[in-house]
């Protein structure tokens, strides 16, 4: 059964297995590779995306749980060509080391700040 969802502001219809992890649908079907696979058990956070504005671990979240919802990946955080303030702070503070888990960390922080701006 096709699954309808919005990813980074764009509507998509994915004809994939409902129990496929959202992470793999994003990476394999949509080519959004900024969201990373780390541990596969929700421990590391490299796979964090926003689902209706809340940070979730996409490595274990079934695609069906994202049906009719809004998904934002690291590729969708910047708006109108301008980095999100958290992304810019990351660069200014020279935070990344290898950078592999950075997208998940940025997604977690942007969701937190959206809910608790103070």
At 14-47, the pLDDT tens digits run 999 999 999 999 999 999 999 999 999 999 999 9
At 57-113, the pLDDT tens digits run 999 999 999 999 999 999 999 999 999 999 999 999 998 778 788 999 999 999 999
Q: Please state the domain count of the chain.
A: 1
Global confidence as pTM: 0.94
Confidence bin at 118 (pLDDT 50/70/90): confident
* pLDDT for res 97: 77
b/e per residue, 19-40, with b = 16+ CB within 10 A? ebbbbbbbbeebebebbbbbee
Ramachandran class of 71: left when φ > 0, alpha when ψ lies in -120 to 50, beta otherwise? beta
How does DSSP classify residue 76? G
For 32, the domain range is 3-115
- CATH code of the domain covering residue 52: 3.10.20.30
* pLDDT for res 1: 83
């Amino acid at each position: 059964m096709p699954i309808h969802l919005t990813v980074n502001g764009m509507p998509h219809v994915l004809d994939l297995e409902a129990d496929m992890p959202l992470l793999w649908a994003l990476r394999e079907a949509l080519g959004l590779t900024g969201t990373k696979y780390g541990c596969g058990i929700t421990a590391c956070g490299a796979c964090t995306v926003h689902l209706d504005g809340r940070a979730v671990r996409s490595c274990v979240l079934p695609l069906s749980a994202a049906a009719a919802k809004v998904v934002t990946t690291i590729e969708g955080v910047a708006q109108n060509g301008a980095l999100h303030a958290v992304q810019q702070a990351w660069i200014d503070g020279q935070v990344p080391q290898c950078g592999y888990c950075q997208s998940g960390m940025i997604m977690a922080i942007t969701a937190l700040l959206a809910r608790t701006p103070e």
